[in-house]
Amino acid sequence: MQLVLVDTSVWIDYFRGGRYAAALDTLIDDNLLVTNDLILAELLPYLQVRRQRKVVALLQEINRVALEIDWADIINMQVKCLRDGSNGVGIPDLVIAQNARLHGCVIFSLDKHFQLIRRVCSGFELLH
């Protein structure tokens, strides 16, 4: 199976013991998940403020895929989303999608924006 880039929404669900916690546990056990610095930048500040040092340390141990942002590609994806009527897709989600596509990762997200991006942009798969 391909590596899975786990989005912030899934991590939040996991920390709350939510519906997708077992699926994430399986990815952890099978050593199939990866992260990137953008996702960590969304997660770590809150955890650090809450003094969740062990969780922070564990998240920092996850294999990372490098962020190599292709701004022309991001702009192209945003244009496609806007032409499709999807005007609420943020740049961070586009960066994550472009990052997954670049590294051949599947995206695991609960965020509907990735479904909108996937509808108009090829090159990455969604796990849901």
For residue range 31-46, what is the model confidence (pLDDT) as tens digits?
Answer: 999 999 999 999 999 9
For the chain, which residues make up each domain, given as ranges? 4-33+67-127
Average pLDDT, the chain: 94
Is 90 exceeded by the pLDDT of residue 102?
yes
Query: What are the tens digits of pLDDT across the range 58-93?
Result: 999 999 999 999 999 999 999 999 999 888 899 999
Q: Give the model's confidence band at 22: pLDDT under 50 very low, under 70 low, under 90 confident, else very high.
A: very high
pTM of the model: 0.92
- Encoded tokens for 102: 């670049």
- Does residue 120 surpass a pLDDT of 90? yes
pLDDT for the residue numbered 4: 97
pLDDT of residue 68: 94
What topology does CATH give the domain 4-33+67-127? Rossmann fold (3.40.50)
